[in-house]
Amino acid sequence: MAMPGALRLYLDFASPYSYFALRPLARLAEEHDRALELRPILLWAVFKQQGVVNPLETPARRRYFLEDVTRSAEFFGLPFRVPEPLQISAHLAGRLFHAWTATRQQDGLRLASEIFEAFFAKGEDIADPAVLANLPCLAGETPDAIRVMIDGPEGRQRLGKAVDEACAAGVTGVPFVTLDGESFFGADRLPQIAWRLQHRRGGT
């Protein structure tokens, strides 16, 4: 009997909606005996390849975004601070994740959670290598090892490959989930993902 397909989550560490969706998706994957594959990307790099303009450059969208992320954090019951600056490139965090999980795939959820909590709950600057080096799950690593994970070729290459993969998969934003050939965009699609998983488990 074939193993059920994984839930693949494309996320950006600078995206509050990715932060909101991570733990609920992990719970859904566990409940339905599915693996959760995390694919950190740089959404701005995906948009650049697709020729998409940054939606937050529109004042009306920016105002709504600020209102909605605060409300959504309350809805999901998560600690949240609006980042300052609002938008950053999370390339250092993305490189770190991809390099770290190359040999520690089982620890990916923990590392991703700690990066999100540092940025969105504690208000720390994840564009600062020193902040990343102080993440609890890296406590056993030497400063040199952390520096290589952040700046070395493996993290860079794996992150670039994930961005290319996201473009090929038709990612239009984050969080973006692929499941058994279907795509789901947005933290508000969690009920549909749960519904689809339930139907697949029931054989319908």
pTM, rounded to two decimals? 0.95
**Chain segment 78-126, per-residue pLDDT in tens:** 999 999 999 999 999 999 999 999 999 899 999 999 999 999 999 999 9
Burial class (CB in 10 A: 0-12, 13-18, 19+), 177: buried
Report which of 172, 76, 24, 93 is spatially closest to residue 7, judged by C-alpha positions. Answer: 24
Contact status, residue 94 vs residue 41, Cβ threshold 8 Å: yes
**Chain segment 139-163, per-residue pLDDT in tens:** 999 999 999 999 999 999 999 999 9
3-state secondary structure of 20: helix
Domains of the chain, first to last: 7-201 (3.40.30.10)
55 pLDDT tier (thresholds 50, 70, 90): confident
